[in-house]
């Protein structure tokens, strides 16, 4: 299941362009000098910056496959953006050659070019790389390219430190822009792929604190590890990679594990002396789901509501169990698609057959062409005869089917019929069952091993949606260049992962039905 990824990566909202690969590799090796990346880390937390600089090989700094994928897509966006400010020259040197890049930029400036891509400057012991430096009639415009669909508050300090360094290096900077992707753009017309937003006034305001902060960071880096208390800044604006080092390990069933509890509420419970769910008194007013969770944890037994029987009525055979996997491309490739549109490119269906038994159907895109027509046809065929189509967190499958309807209008009616037959297994569990091993969540990764012991994702090469998305993209866009064996293995790993999702639903429903049968026996 490739649900929309909410997690933000520690790449300062910008996916590195040019030769940068990750925040770690985009930093200078000289610990006494700052860089734009270092400055932004330090703005979030001095302790984080100290570790980044003094422990550059820390395992926490290795990018995940998902982050690497974002960086790679960001690089593509950065390269594409140059075409929208044409006539420039690229400072094309390895990322670690900071001083050579500064020298090459200085020489390029002498040539009065309309633009310089990946221009580098050094001032105040701080390096700043500029995605696009555009020459204007009276000076220069700093253009910060972002692979996001909108401008974000955290983009401003990024632009501000660049303007500061460039001005201190003697350049006349007249204007600052954030150039981000345009959510209104639709393939194949990519002429409006980018939006250029003038942020000069905002950057001028943000410049005020830059010199003092740079000085403070430099002093801090010359000293020992600073003492910084944990707090909101650990996840805002980015999730810090060192959370496990700084945050205390929580006991099992800590109150913060109450389903979707707000941080503030958990802190209040802790302050009232209820550190874990075991401590919560029976007279405390709780939501229905929390009350069930508390009851299950305190008793050490699964709680099953009598209402489960009724909740399972809509799951009328013959059932099809459906799951999609998706990709999300920064630069759209297929008709009607916008930047970062999440699109289904793989499905698995387990279909109940007359007289019992299950048939398995699957489809996977393994080339760069538009997957929607063939996938939609295979899906319609796979779901033929199903009275209900079971999904887990069905809003995701609904959204995928809607994207398919847009992309394959000739099958819109058939796809709509599938959409109308969707029934969701997740809320059935959430509203009627709690097992102490759910750990405060109802994702299939939590509920499956608790309800169906022995069945999980641990034996698979692809074990989660993030990895599936990355690998699907690799199969589709780079599969042709892979050795046949590697490509077949990758395809097989992805097929097994998606199949496990629908098989998990089959077994979960079986388990829920057996819980109902057990209840009936008791009465």
Tell me how far apart the alpha carbons of residues 50 and 245 are, in angstroms, rounded to a whole number.
13
Stretch that binds ligand SF4, among 237-245, 367-375, 400-408, 496-504 (CB under 6 A): 237-245
Tell me how far apart the alpha carbons of residues 139 and 175 are, in angstroms, rounded to a whole number.
9
Per-residue binding letters, 441-460, with ligand SF4 (x by CB under 6 A): --------------------
Q: Which is nearer to ligand SF4, 34 or 104 (CB)?
A: 34
Q: Which is nearer to ligand SF4, 189 or 244 (CB)?
A: 244
Shortest distance in whole angstroms from residue 59 CB to ligand SF4: 15
Stretch that binds ligand SF4, among 157-165, 241-249, 405-413, 480-488 (CB under 6 A): 241-249
Tell me how far apart the alpha carbons of residues 383 and 196 are, in angstroms, rounded to a whole number.
45
Q: Which is nearer to ligand SF4, 8 or 398 (CB)?
A: 8
From candidates 215, 216, 225, 243, binder to ligand SF4 by CB under 6 A: 243
Q: Which is nearer to ligand SF4, 240 or 390 (CB)?
A: 240
Q: Which is nearer to ligand SF4, 127 or 242 (CB)?
A: 242
From candidates 159, 171, 234, 451, binder to ligand SF4 by CB under 6 A: 234
Stretch that binds ligand SF4, among 129-137, 179-187, 234-242, 256-264 (CB under 6 A): 234-242
Count of residues in the chain: 523
Stretch that binds ligand SF4, among 59-67, 104-112, 240-248, 486-494 (CB under 6 A): 240-248
Taking CA 3 as the corner, what is the angle to CA 450 and CA 76, rounded to the nearest 5 degrees? 140
# chain residues binding ligand SF4, by CB under 6 A: 11
Q: Which is nearer to ligand SF4, 136 or 236 (CB)?
A: 236
Q: Which is nearer to ligand SF4, 10 or 162 (CB)?
A: 10
Write the CB contacts of 121 (distance below 8 Å, at least 6 apart in sequence): 102, 105, 127, 128, 130, 165, 166, 169, 171
Write the CB contacts of 263 (distance below 8 Å, at least 6 apart in sequence): 256
476-503 burial, b if ≥16 CB within 10 A, otherwise e?
A: beebeeeeeeebeebbebbbbbbbbbbb
From candidates 3, 233, 421, 507, binder to ligand SF4 by CB under 6 A: 233
| Binding status of residue 246 toward ligand SF4 by CB under 6 A | yes
Shortest distance in whole angstroms from residue 218 CB to ligand SF4: 18
Query: What's the distance, CA 431 to chain centroid?
Result: 28
Beta strands in 220-328 (DSSP E): 303-304, 319-328
Q: Which is nearer to ligand SF4, 113 or 246 (CB)?
A: 246
Shortest distance in whole angstroms from residue 27 CB to ligand SF4: 16
Binding residues among 41-60 for ligand SF4 as defined by CB under 6 A:
45, 47-48
> DSSP string covering 192-224, please?
T-EEEEE-HHHHHHHGGGHHHHHHHHHHHHHSS
Coil, strand, or helix at residue 272? coil
Contact 187, 94 (CB under 8 A): no
Q: Which is nearer to ligand SF4, 190 or 230 (CB)?
A: 230
Q: Which is nearer to ligand SF4, 10 or 19 (CB)?
A: 10
Shortest distance in whole angstroms from residue 151 CB to ligand SF4: 24
Shortest distance in whole angstroms from residue 45 CB to ligand SF4: 3
Q: Which is nearer to ligand SF4, 163 or 221 (CB)?
A: 221
Beta strands in 106-154 (DSSP E): 115-123, 126-135, 140-146
Q: Is the dihedral of CA 441, 442, 445, 449 positive or negative?
A: positive
Q: Which is nearer to ligand SF4, 241 or 479 (CB)?
A: 241
From candidates 228, 423, 455, 477, binder to ligand SF4 by CB under 6 A: 228
Tell me how far apart the alpha carbons of residues 348 and 493 are, in angstroms, rounded to a whole number.
13
Task: Find the DSSP H helices in 272-411.
Answer: 288-299, 308-311, 372-383, 394-407
Tell me how far apart the alpha carbons of residues 151 and 136 are, in angstroms, rounded to a whole number.
23
Q: Which is nearer to ligand SF4, 228 or 422 (CB)?
A: 228
Shortest distance in whole angstroms from residue 229 CB to ligand SF4: 7
Shortest distance in whole angstroms from residue 476 CB to ligand SF4: 36
| Binding status of residue 40 toward ligand SF4 by CB under 6 A | no
Binding residues among 484-523 for ligand SF4 as defined by CB under 6 A:
none
| Tokens encoding 247 | 């945050």
From candidates 71, 238, 242, 321, binder to ligand SF4 by CB under 6 A: 242
Distances (CA, A) of 263 to 10, 248, 267, 273, 283: 22, 15, 6, 16, 22
From candidates 240, 269, 383, 408, binder to ligand SF4 by CB under 6 A: 240
Tell me how far apart the alpha carbons of residues 518 and 523 are, in angstroms, rounded to a whole number.
9
Contact 346, 364 (CB under 8 A): yes
Coil, strand, or helix at residue 495? helix
Stretch that binds ligand SF4, among 173-181, 230-238, 258-266, 372-380 (CB under 6 A): 230-238
Shortest distance in whole angstroms from residue 266 CB to ligand SF4: 17
Coil, strand, or helix at residue 503? helix
| Binding status of residue 291 toward ligand SF4 by CB under 6 A | no
Q: What are phi and psi of 9, to 5 degrees?
A: -95, 155
What residue ranges bind ligand SF4 (CB under 6 A)? 45, 47-48, 228, 230, 233-234, 240, 242-243, 246
């Amino acid at each position: 299941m490739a649900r929309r990824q909410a997690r933000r990566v520690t790449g300062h909202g910008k996916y590195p362009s040019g030769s940068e690969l990750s925040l770690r590799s985009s930093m200078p090796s000289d610990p006494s000098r700052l860089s734009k990346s270092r400055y932004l880390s330090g703005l979030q937390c001095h302790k984080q910056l100290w570790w980044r600089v003094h422990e550059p090989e820390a395992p926490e700094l290795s990018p995940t496959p998902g982050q690497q994928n974002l960086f790679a897509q960001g690089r593509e966006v950065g390269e594409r953006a140059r075409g929208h400010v044409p006539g420039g020259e690229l400072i094309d040197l390895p990322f670690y050659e900071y001083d050579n890049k500064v020298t090459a930029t200085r020489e390029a400036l002498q040539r009065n070019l309309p633009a310089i891509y990946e221009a580098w400057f050094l001032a105040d012991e701080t390096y700043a790389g500029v995605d696009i430096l555009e020459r204007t009639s009276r000076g220069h415009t700093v253009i910060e390219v972002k692979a996001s669909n909108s401008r974000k508050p955290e983009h401003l300090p990024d632009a501000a430190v660049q303007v500061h360094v460039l001005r201190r290096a003697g350049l006349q900077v007249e204007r600052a822009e954030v150039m981000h992707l345009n959510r209104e753009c639709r393939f194949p017309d990519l002429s409006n792929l980018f939006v250029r937003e003038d942020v000069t006034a905002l950057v001028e305001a943000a410049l005020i604190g830059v010199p003092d902060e740079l000085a403070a960071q430099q002093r801090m880096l010359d000293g020992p590890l600073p003492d910084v208390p944990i707090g909101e800044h650990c996840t805002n604006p980015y999730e810090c990679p060192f959370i496990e080092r700084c945050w205390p390990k929580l006991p099992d069933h800590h109150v913060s594990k109450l389903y979707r509890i707000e941080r503030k509420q958990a802190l209040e419970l802790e302050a009232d002396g209820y550190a874990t769910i075991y401590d919560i008194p029976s007279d405390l007013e709780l939501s229905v789901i929390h009350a069930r969770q508390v009851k299950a944890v305190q008793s050490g037994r699964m709680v099953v509501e009598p209402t489960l029987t009724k909740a399972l009525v809509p799951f009328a055979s013959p059932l099809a169990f459906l799951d999609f996997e998706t990709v999300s491309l920064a630069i759209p490739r297929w008709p009607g698609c916008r930047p970062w549109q999440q699109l289904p490119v793989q499905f698995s269906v387990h279909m109940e057959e007359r007289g019992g038994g299950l048939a398995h159907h699957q489809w996977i895109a393994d080339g760069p062409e538009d997957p929607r027509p063939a996938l939609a046809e295979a899906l319609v065929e796979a779901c033929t005869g199903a009275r209900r189509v079971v999904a887990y967190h069905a809003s995701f499958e609904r959204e995928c089917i809607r994207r398919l309807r847009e992309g394959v209008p000739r099958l819109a009616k058939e796809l709509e019929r599938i959409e109308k037959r969707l029934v969701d297994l997740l809320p059935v569990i959430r509203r009627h069952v709690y097992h102490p091993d759910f750990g405060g969540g109802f994702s299939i990764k939590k509920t499956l091993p608790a309800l169906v012991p022995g069945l999980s994702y641990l034996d698979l090469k692809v074990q989660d949606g993030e990895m599936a998305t990355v690998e699907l993209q690799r199969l589709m866009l780079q599969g042709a260049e892979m050795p046949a064996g590697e490509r077949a293995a990758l395809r097989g790993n992805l097929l097994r992962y998606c199949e496990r999702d629908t098989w998990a639903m089959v077994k979960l429903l079986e388990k829920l039905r057996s819980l109902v049968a057990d209840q009936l026996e008791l009465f």
